[in-house]
Amino acid sequence: MEIRTDLYFGDCKEELKKIPDDSVDLIFTSPPYADQRKNTYGGIPPKEYVNWFLPISEQLYRILKPTGTFVLNIKERVVNGERSTYVLELILEMKKQGWLWTEEYIWHKKNSYPGKWPNRFRDAWERLLQFNKQKKFNMYQEEVMVPMGDWAKTRLKRLSETDKKRDESKVGSGFGKNISNWLEREMAYPTNVIHLATECNNKNHSAAFPEGLPEWFIKLFTKEGDTVLDPFMGSGTTNIVAKRMYRNSIGIEIVKEYFDMVKTEMQPTELILFEPNSNYEKTEPKRRKTIR
Amino acid sequence: MEIRTDLYFGDCKEELKKIPDDSVDLIFTSPPYADQRKNTYGGIPPKEYVNWFLPISEQLYRILKPTGTFVLNIKERVVNGERSTYVLELILEMKKQGWLWTEEYIWHKKNSYPGKWPNRFRDAWERLLQFNKQKKFNMYQEEVMVPMGDWAKTRLKRLSETDKKRDESKVGSGFGKNISNWLEREMAYPTNVIHLATECNNKNHSAAFPEGLPEWFIKLFTKEGDTVLDPFMGSGTTNIVAKRMYRNSIGIEIVKEYFDMVKTEMQPTELILFEPNSNYEKTEPKRRKTIR
DNA sequence: GTTCCGCATGAATCGATAG
DNA sequence: ACTATCGATTCATGCGGAA
């Protein structure tokens, strides 16, 4: 199975139009927050945020498969000592576009950004809003199961019971098989609170989220060979993880520096670039360029 | 200093009118969630929830001191496979009443309700919405400082260093004093994510939240002698904790059974009851009844 | 007095069945 | 078609009784 990574350079509002209807299984993205990262994205003022985002979410709705899921990582910033309301308004407006607001996951950032203010504590969580087109969508819950709370204690207890009943289990592979049976029982489904530390990125570009975040949702909402889209690619975390997990992926990035960085980082398999400034712009209508 | 606990029996929408302007330092409450607790409360349909709550929040605004804080514990329920939006709408409407939406704390419930569904995981968090009347309000951050994350490790490391430098510290009280010094240095400010397990109700009445929850916010937003209000008293957790922490408190409860239960549980100091069905209704305009 | 084990119990949600 | 009720699912916690 050949895995493709398609990278588009440009404004996602326009680039998304090139992607066919009902073709993506998971959209996972973290758009530039209002007034943040001005140097790279131009910072959308909180007041204009909803109107800026709605044309994009409209395209995303068109592109997503009916069984697909859209996960939006976002958090409202503080303006004048108050939390902005653009995220609340965005949810209400997206529902008018037809989106179902299925769930809100919490990403608990264990090592949150340091700082001290007289009127608030450090912000240690972000929203992960799950939107769908239908009530029925693909979800592979077994893929993200976690050890139970008192896992070690219970497991040891049960194992000792097993030993009492079955002496033959201690012989070779029988024992191992037994353990795996118990292990299965000692796993539980997770909750809608996700614990992950923000990665201290060792490289020169900082990612908005750790790899574990897209990884969790890619496991949960797609299977191998499916297609993942990140319309605000940034440093490409979503696409890098998707590729590693044998998912096709599409990334769109408006900042040339980021786009080139990801282009360089993505290695073999099939990397497909859509660059408007390519030399072949006039001769090839789709400006396709394949790198192996 | 005499600490008072005032208990009102009746609908808080009406009872709140008896409380004077700018007289409360902290409002901490957890109203009945939409369509929840039908057996005890009426169970407000999601569609009507905002309109049901707004007259109450209007009264709360009047009653709260300008330097005070309103903490609202709430979570939207799932309707038809989708999260309801009444909490989002409520925030937007309360802002029109003049409330500032200062912050949203997350209560992470470690032991969430079990269950398995094809489209979602267990819900393990609730909102704690902080509202204020002014940008400047009372906040006592030092009161809720917590041991640092790797507290044990760091403490041991530092102590051993100390031991190397000071042998005399091992003598009697000097050692203890030393430890307390280190302990102070190992404290850090918390974040806006609060970890607490829901109490399994040990008694015959179940509380909606554990005592640790109001305790944390009472520490953070009030000092001794201040006044705390819970307009949906329920089993009286907020008031019981307030009293224990030497805060005056007001509780309002519409369910007679709960009201009587709290009345019985609250022991000495000054407990003041406002019961419309009292025998003294006609002779005493304020129907005041004091129990010592 | 401990520690350990068994058990009931939740601010839940879905799907099926019944009126 | 729309609402109301009920059973099934599931797991951290604290209680009580036992060793």
Instruction: Show me where the domains of chain B are located.
Output: 2-145+190-291, 147-188
What's the pLDDT at A139?
98
Q: For residues A124 and A127, what is the distance between their CA atoms, to the nearest angstrom?
A: 11
Q: For residues A77 and A127, what is the distance between their CA atoms, to the nearest angstrom?
A: 12
Tokens 């996951």 found at: A105
A98 CA to centre of own chain = 21
Mutate to test the interface with A, among B97, B101, B105, B191 (most CBs of A within 10 A): B191
The residue lying closest to nucleotide D14, measuring its CA against C1', is B200
What are the average pLDDT values for consecutive 10-residue runs of chain A, which has 292 residues?
A: 94 97 98 68 84 98 98 96 98 98 97 91 97 98 89 55 46 48 74 90 69 98 98 97 98 95 86 75 46 48
B285 touches chain A (CB under 8 A): no
Q: Is the pLDDT of residue B50 over 80?
A: yes
What's the pLDDT at A65?
98
Q: For residues B160 and B179, what is the distance between their CA atoms, to the nearest angstrom?
A: 11
Using a CB-CB cut-off of 8 Å, the residues of chain A touching B68 are none
Instruction: Report the predicted TM-score, pTM, of the whole model to 2 decimal places.
Output: 0.88
Q: For residues A68 and A238, what is the distance between their CA atoms, to the nearest angstrom?
A: 16
Give me Rg for the CA atoms of chain A: 22
The CATH label, of 2.120.10.30, 3.30.499.10, 3.30.300.30, 3.40.50.150, for the domain at A2-145+190-291 is 3.40.50.150
Do A46 and A77 contact (CB within 8 A), yes or no? Answer: yes
Q: Which residues pair with A230 in a beta bridge?
A: A251
A108 touches chain B (CB under 8 A): yes
B13 touches chain A (CB under 8 A): no
Q: Which residue has the higher pLDDT, B152 or B110?
A: B110
Q: Which residue has the higher pLDDT, B152 or A245?
A: A245
Q: For residues B140 and B219, what is the distance between their CA atoms, to the nearest angstrom?
A: 7
Whether the CB of A150 is less than 7 Å away from nucleic strand D comes out as yes
What's the pLDDT at B276?
79
Do B161 and B236 contact (CB within 8 A), yes or no? Answer: no
Query: 3-state SS string over B168-199?
Result: HHHCHHHHHHHHHHHHHHCEECCECEEEECCC
Work out the pLDDT band at B33, boundaries 50, 70, 90: confident
Torsion of CA B76, B81, B82, B83, to 10 degrees: 10
Instruction: Give the chain B residue whose CA is nearest to the CA of A140.
Output: B118
What's the pLDDT at B40?
65
Angle between helices B256-265 and B237-244 (to 10 degrees): 20
Q: Which residues pair with B288 in a beta bridge?
A: B274
Mutate to test the interface with A, among B70, B86, B125, B219 (most CBs of A within 10 A): B125
What's the pLDDT at B239?
97
Using a CB-CB cut-off of 8 Å, the residues of chain A touching B116 are 141, 189
Model confidence pLDDT, tens digit, residues A142-172: 999 998 876 655 555 555 555 444 444 444 4
Structure tokens at B119: 């489209």
Residue B277 has phi, psi (to 5 degrees) of -90, 10
A246: left (phi over 0), alpha (psi -120 to 50) or beta: left
Q: Is the pLDDT of residue B205 over 80?
A: no
Report the pLDDT averaged over residues B148-167: 46
Do B77 and A58 contact (CB within 8 A), yes or no? Answer: no
What's the pLDDT at B285?
34
A227-230 and A24-29 strand pairing: parallel
Alpha-carbon distance values, A87 to A54, B147, B250 (Å): 12, 33, 34
What's the pLDDT at B219?
98
- Residue type (1 letter), B12: C
Model confidence pLDDT, tens digit, residues B251-264: 999 999 899 999 98
Q: For residues A249 and A243, what is the distance between their CA atoms, to the nearest angstrom?
A: 7
- Kindly determine whether residue B135 and residue A141, on different chains, have CB atoms separated by under 8 Å: no
Alpha-carbon distance values, A89 to A45, A76, B79, B85, B93 (Å): 14, 11, 19, 10, 12
Closest CA to B13 of B61, B56, B70: B56
Model confidence pLDDT, tens digit, residues B219-262: 999 999 999 999 999 999 999 999 999 999 999 999 998 999 99
Closest CA to A12 of A274, A225, A277, A291: A274
How far is A48 from chain B, CA to nearest CA, in Å?
17
Do B280 and B269 contact (CB within 8 A), yes or no? Answer: no
Burial of B212 (0-12, 13-18, 19+ CB in 10 A): middle
